[in-house]
């Protein structure tokens, strides 16, 4: 991703080539700061008001007992690390954190394996095959999250399609949303997210020079060896970037789970976003809710560090 | 079996100097296997969606996907009322369309200096923008809710629109900057030499060349906000302001026994616009619009 800005901003002052002669520099002198302040003002305002503001407020509010109603709403107090102490001791929080990590790992594993498999299998196929399979997989991705939730609810419910299919093999029906809620939401999320990894890996694969693979083949490498020793190492950057984006996407999944199981049964599929919603909006404890939101960001951050290290470790060219 | 036919054509039709030309029996068997696996995978992805398609035209729809027992459009007829469909869809159009226009416009204004001028803060700013694209929006919704409550903006359509625009702006700016980078600066220089002002060169040169790119930014915003449930779910409270994303969810739990046929019909109505828009963008970008392309810049 770091390469992106290089197209026109080759960093340090030495950017001579695209800093053309007279006309431009004199023109620049004329406008002063106004030439960039004015056009950037609307975007800056929106992002400061709705992004930077709330984030700063998150950090502040997580140290207070800010609440929606009651005495605390009137006079919010600074409570120091109370919210975080409460977090650490809260068994529901710990359970939610574990569920979030399991949800993340399951989704990431499923999306990566399926996406990579599809990208590899679709490579060099006829356009019709690629188009047909691609349309179905991308279709799942384009469907709005609420609808994806409904569709999977219908698929996994006791009266749903899956049981109808299993019934044909004489298997007894069960409500999968009740017996395996986490697995159910992971499956739905993988179904929805695979298209993204398929597309990025497909784009990455198209840049892997095929003569390398052919050379390895000629030298007697098996298909699996070519994949493991030639293709995957060349895909490393794409892999790390995609994993990072999938993680940031997956860690915040709320709608899909909320529609399918609403966090239940009990709290067996209550991940951090659902717990945050319940604490902050159902129970009105904004301070505690934001503390959970911070924890969510920490989980995302920890995973990101792993990928960034994965990128930089083998970088020394 | 049908999947096999295209392969045969591709073997001879495509001038691919690699293995296809020297295909051994083993590879042919491998190709059959690959197509079989692909067919199974595609079927698995299609399976859950079938319910929505079938149930929406089924007079006695259940949760089970199956060929409609009695084909009917009653489900659509039942929900096509101002209160259930038209109003929420219009709210969606207002908020998401508004967000798309605002994002495209602000992105263009902000991206031009970022692409063309040498600014000291440019790199840190761009990295901040890039970081913001990945920020989990869910995580900031509680503070945003607090902000809206304190500022008296809760249940306001235009404030929600502005927030949606702000949440897609980082990606919009990033994308637009890359599009402007692709427009040769020599064109503008020629205009300047001929005496055009900066504004004129933007108005008559950059804007027309950027139009397809801005359309992509707008449609991308539209697609991603159209499907967003959490933001309106939290920021809008009264039923008459709910967009389709939230309305279809409340519709789900509204009646004692859920009318699955109508739910499927509503889901379908709500899904179709995004699918159409997505197809439009991917056509416009000639297959390059896979997000992968956007990421690589």
B142, closest residue in chain A (CA to CA): A290
Chain A 163-222, CB below 8 Å of chain B: which residues?
A: 164, 188, 191, 194, 196, 199-200, 202-204, 210, 214, 217
User: Is residue A233 scored above 80 in pLDDT?
Assistant: yes
- The predicted pLDDT at position A12 comes to 38
- Contact residues on chain B for A194, CB-CB shorter than 8 A: 45
- Contact residues on chain A for B166, CB-CB shorter than 8 A: 46-47, 49-51
- Nearest CB among A7, A55, A121 relative to B37 is that of A121
Q: Do A36 and B113 touch (CB under 8 A)?
A: yes
Q: What is the mean pLDDT of residues A160-166?
A: 80
Most B CBs within 10 Å, among A126, A193, A224, to test the B interface: A126
- Nearest CB among B126, B230, B291 relative to A199 is that of B291
Q: List residues bridging with A78 in a β-sheet.
A: A64
C-alpha neighbours within 13 Å on the C-beta side of residue B212? 12
- Per-residue pLDDT band at A96 (split at 50, 70, 90): very high
The least confident of A43-52, B1-10, B276-285 is B1-10
Distance CA A237, CA A1 (A): 9
Which pTM was predicted? Answer: 0.81
How many C-beta neighbours within 10 Å does residue B37 have? 13
- Contact residues on chain B for A276, CB-CB shorter than 8 A: 138-139, 142
- Contact residues on chain A for B92, CB-CB shorter than 8 A: none
Torsion of CA A215, A219, A220, A225, to 10 degrees: -60
Residue B103 has which token pair? 């994002």
Residue A10 has which token pair? 């080759």
pLDDT tens digits, B219-264: 888 888 998 999 999 999 888 888 988 988 888 776 545 778 888 8
CA-wise closest residue to A252 among A274, A219, A225: A274
Most A CBs within 10 Å, among B139, B232, B246, to test the A interface: B139
What is residue A222's three-state secondary structure? coil
- The predicted pLDDT at position A31 comes to 57
Q: What is the mean pLDDT of residues B99-121?
A: 89
Distance CA B275, CA B277 (A): 5
Q: Do A39 and B139 touch (CB under 8 A)?
A: no
- Those residues whose C-beta lies under 8 Å from the C-beta of residue A137, and which sit 6 or more positions away, are A118, A194, A195, A198, B41, B42, B45
- Contact residues on chain A for B252, CB-CB shorter than 8 A: 150, 259
Q: List residues bridging with A64 in a β-sheet.
A: A78
C-beta separation of B246 from B171 below 8 A? no
Query: The tokens 């919210």 sit on which residue?
Result: A83
Q: What is the mean pLDDT of residues B106-126?
A: 86
B269, closest residue in chain A (CA to CA): A147
B7, closest residue in chain A (CA to CA): A126
Tell me how long chain A is.
317
For chain B, domain boundaries: 4-72, 76-296
Distance CA B201, CA B206 (A): 7
- Those residues whose C-beta lies under 8 Å from the C-beta of residue A264, and which sit 6 or more positions away, are A181, A270
C-beta separation of B163 from B154 below 8 A? no
pLDDT tens digits, B171-225: 899 889 988 888 888 888 888 888 888 888 888 888 888 888 888 888 888 888 9
ipTM over 0.90: no
User: Is residue B158 scored above 80 in pLDDT?
Assistant: yes
In the CATH hierarchy, which top-level class contains the domain B76-296? mainly alpha
pLDDT tens digits, B30-42: 888 888 999 999 9
Counting one residue from chain A and one from chain B, the pairs whose CB atoms sit within 8 A come to 298
CA-wise closest residue to B103 among B189, B167, B54: B167
- Per-residue pLDDT band at A267 (split at 50, 70, 90): confident
For chain A, domain boundaries: 93-313
CA-wise closest residue to B55 among B284, B231, B265: B265
Task: Please report the beta strands in B34-186, taking only residues with DSSP state E, as ranges in sequence order.
Answer: none
Q: Do B48 and A161 touch (CB under 8 A)?
A: yes
Tell me the helix, strand and coil percentages in chain B, rounded to 5.
75, 0, 25
- The predicted pLDDT at position A113 comes to 94
User: Is residue B8 scored above 50 in pLDDT?
Assistant: no
- Chain mean position to CA B273: 10
Instruction: Quote the DSSP letter at residue B83.
Output: I
- The predicted pLDDT at position A314 comes to 57
- What DSSP string describes A57-80? HHHHHTTB---SSSHHHHS--B-T
* N-terminal to C-terminal alpha carbon distance within chain A: 17
A140, closest residue in chain B (CA to CA): B45
Distance CA A197, CA B260 (A): 32
Superfamily of domain A93-313: MetI-like (1.10.3720.10)
- Per-residue pLDDT band at A254 (split at 50, 70, 90): very high
Most A CBs within 10 Å, among B19, B36, B45, B125, to test the A interface: B45
């Amino acid at each position: 991703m770091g390469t992106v800005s290089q197209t026109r901003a080759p960093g340090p002052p030495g950017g001579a080539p695209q800093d053309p002669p007279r006309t431009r520099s004199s023109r620049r002198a004329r406008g002063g700061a106004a030439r960039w302040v004015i056009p950037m003002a609307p975007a800056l305002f929106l992002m400061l008001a709705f992004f930077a503001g709330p984030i700063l407020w998150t950090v502040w509010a997580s140290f207070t007992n800010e609440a929606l109603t009651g005495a605390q709403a009137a006079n919010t107090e600074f409570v120091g690390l109370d919210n975080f102490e409460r977090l650490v001791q809260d068994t529901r929080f710990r359970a939610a954190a574990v569920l979030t990590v399991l949800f993340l790992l399951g989704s990431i594993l499923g999306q990566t394996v399926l996406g990579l498999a599809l990208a590899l299998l679709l490579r060099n196929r006829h356009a019709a095959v690629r188009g047909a399979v691609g349309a179905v997989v991308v279709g799942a991705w384009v469907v709005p999250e609420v609808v994806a939730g409904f569709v999977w609810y219908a698929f996994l419910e006791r009266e749903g399609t899956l049981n109808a299919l299993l019934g044909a093999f004489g298997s007894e029906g069960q409500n999968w949303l009740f017996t395996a809620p986490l697995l159910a939401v992971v499956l739905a999320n993988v179904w929805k997210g695979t298209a993204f990894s398929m597309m990025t890996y497909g784009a990455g694969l198209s840049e892997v020079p095929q003569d390398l693979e052919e050379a390895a083949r000629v030298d007697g490498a098996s298909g699996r060896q070519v994949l493991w020793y030639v293709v995957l190492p060349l895909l490393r950057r794409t892999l790390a970037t995609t994993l990072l984006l999938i993680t940031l996407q997956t860690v915040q999944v709320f709608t899909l789970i909320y529609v399918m199981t609403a966090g239940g049964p009990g709290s067996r599929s209550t991940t951090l976003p659902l717990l945050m919603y319940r604490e902050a909006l159902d129970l009105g404890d904004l301070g505690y809710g934001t503390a959970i939101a911070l924890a969510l960001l920490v989980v995302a951050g920890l995973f990101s560090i792993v990928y960034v290290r994965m990128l930089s470790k083998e970088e020394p060219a | 079996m049908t999947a096999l036919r295209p392969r045969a054509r591709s073997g001879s039709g495509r001038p691919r100097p690699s293995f296809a030309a020297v295909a051994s029996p083993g590879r042919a068997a491998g190709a059959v296997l690959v197509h079989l696996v692909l067919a199974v995978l595609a079927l698995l992805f299609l399976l859950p969606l079938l319910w929505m398609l079938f149930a929406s035209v089924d007079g006695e729809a259940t949760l089970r996907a199956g060929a409609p027992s009695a084909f009917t459009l009653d489900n659509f007829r039942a929900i096509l009322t101002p209160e259930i469909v038209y109003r929420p869809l219009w709210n969606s159009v207002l908020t998401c369309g508004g967000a798309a226009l605002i994002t495209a416009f602000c992105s263009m204004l902000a991206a031009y200096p970022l692409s063309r001028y040498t600014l000291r803060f440019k790199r840190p700013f761009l990295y901040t923008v890039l970081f913001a694209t990945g920020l989990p929006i869910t995580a900031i919704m509680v503070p945003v809710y607090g902000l809206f409550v304190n500022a008296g903006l809760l249940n306001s359509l235009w404030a929600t629109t502005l927030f949606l625009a702000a949440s897609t702006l980082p990606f919009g700016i990033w994308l637009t900057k890359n599009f402007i980078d692709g427009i040769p600066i020599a064109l503008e220089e020629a205009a300047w030499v001929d005496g055009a002002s900066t504004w004129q060169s933007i108005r008559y040169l950059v804007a027309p060349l950027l139009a397809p790119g801005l359309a992509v930014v707008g449609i991308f915003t539209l697609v991603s906000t159209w499907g967003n449930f959490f933001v309106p779910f939290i920021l809008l409270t009264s039923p008459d302001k709910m967009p389709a994303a939230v309305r279809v969810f409340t519709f789900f739990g509204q009646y004692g026994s859920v009318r699955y046929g109508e739910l499927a019909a509503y889901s379908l109505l709500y899904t179709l616009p995004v699918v159409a828009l997505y197809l439009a963008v991917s056509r416009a970008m000639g297959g390059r619009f896979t997000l992968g392309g956007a990421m690589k810049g």
